[in-house]
Chains A and B, each alone.
Chain A
Amino acid sequence: DAGVTQSPTHLIKTRGQQVTLRCSPKSGHDTVSWYQQALGQGPQFIFQYYEEEERQRGNFPDRFSGHQFPNYSSELNVNALLLGDSALYLCASSLGGVRETQYFGPGTRLLVL
Chain B
Amino acid sequence: GENVEQHPSTLSVQEGDSAVIKCTYSDSASNYFPWYKQELGKGPQLIIDIRSNVGEKKDQRIAVTLNKTAKHFSLHITETQPEDSAVYFCAASSYGGATNKLIFGTGTLLAVQP
Contacts and interface: CB of A to CB of B under 8 A. Distances in A.
Interface string B93-104: 101111111111
A33 B101 contact: yes
Interface stretch (A14-22, A60-68, A77-85, A102-110): A102-110
Contact of A107 (B43, B98, B100, B106): B43
Interface in A48-62: 48, 50, 55-56, 58
Interface in B29-67: 32, 34, 36, 42-46, 49, 51
Contact of A56 (B42, B101, B103): B101
A36 B48 CA distance: 22
A44 interface: yes
A23 B46 CA distance: 18
Given A41-B106, A98-B96, A104 B43 contact: yes
Contact of A42 (B51, B95, B101, B105): B105
B40 to A, nearest CB: 11
A103 B44 CA distance: 8
Interface in B80-99: 89, 91, 93, 95-99
A90 B95 contact: no
A101 B105 contact: no
Contacts of B45: 104
Interface of B: 4, 6, 32, 34, 36, 42-46, 49, 51, 89, 91, 93, 95-107
